[in-house]
Amino acid sequence: MSFISAIGVAVPEHVFSQPVIASFMERTMQPDYTANRKLHAIFRASGIETRHSVLDDYGKQSDYSFYPNTKNFEPFPSTQARLEAYRKHALPLSLRAIENCLSQQAAINRKDITHLIQVSCTGMYAPGLDIDLIRHLNLNEHVQRTCINFMGCYAAFNALKLANALCKSERHAVVLVVCTELCTLHFQKEPTEDNLLANALFADGAGALLVTSSPQPGWNLVPEHFHNGLAFNGKEHMAWDIGNHGFEMKLSTYVPDTIRTGIKKLTSELLNQFQKNIGDISSFAIHPGGKKILEAIEQELGISQEENKPAYAVLKKYGNMSSATILFVLHHIMQQLQPQDTDKLVLSFAFGPGLTLESMLLKTHYQ
């Protein structure tokens, strides 16, 4: 078996309210009247109050430190400049999330960690973040490393699948997973509908979790099963490309409808393997890709907004931090567990390019 025995999270120090970010977007994107009305409508309806960034520019009106101090923001930062910023900021943010995670299980020595899984879709370099983490954490140099890159918001599920398999196959496995996303480095200023949506949702954050082959003191989450699907009719509605001026998100307003058409089938296929139904689920850990996505899932599965509260809480405070976000939701759930909550089922979802639908069933366990 495998056990998620600790989850740590971290966000950058710069935090901005949605109106402040909207003001920055208005100045930089320079939308026409119609696009400007749409921009503010999207921000108001986002369900987000604050977001974090490694850049302080989003709270400024001038004297920018990353973006050019020109009227049209040209020359717009290149992909090279953005990845240099990723290299500068990803390590310290990752370390904070990991330290927060490891501090919860003091009995586990860092030298006991056998595997490191590093996840990101917002930056890369080589030698990479994985090697930097080993050096700064003073891990065993023989720790086995795996990097999961450019898979988007559902990548943490692939990391957990791998960690689960490792713990089941190696009786002394101790797996450290870290998801680090600096989405705000990839701001695009053309006032397209895709950019308006992306600029209203995405933020920076890191999450880390410890997966062990035996339960650790306190609360553990036990992965029972994983199940995934592909909605090929949504292939054009969510994509992630590398452009000359950063990574470019394609995110259409049809994503909630695409998820709606596949989520019930995905859930039934997962739960039927255990002769369970939606009424047997005690907690929901749903990736808050956006408020409309959460509402679509609630309608299809017949669950209430109150039952989906962890996702809304993370969305409201942090926005969408791509792969790291689901770790924030699971962290929120673990923080709320009470003695009577042992052996309860948690159903989790995340979504990404493809259009990929990922699901996971977990059980709570107190040691």
Catalytic residue ranges: 153
Q: H helices of the chain, where?
A: 18-29, 33-44, 79-102, 129-137, 155-169, 193-201, 255-272, 291-301, 309-318, 325-336
Q: Rounded to whole angstroms, what are the CA distances from 228 to 15, 161, 349, 359? A: 34, 11, 9, 6
3 state SS of 279 = helix
Cβ-count burial 301-318 (b if 16+ within 10 Å, e if not) = bebeeebbebbbbbbebb
Residue with tokens 């604050």: 50
Q: DSSP string of 310-346?
A: HHHHHHHHH-B-GGGHHHHHHHHHHHH--GGGTT-EE
Residues whose CB is less than 8 angstroms from the CB of residue 130 and which lie 6 or more positions away in sequence, other chains included: 116, 118, 145, 147
Residue pair 303/365 in contact by the 8 Å Cβ criterion: no
- Comparing CA positions, the residue from 118, 110, 115, 173 lying closest to residue 144 is 115
DSSP 6: E
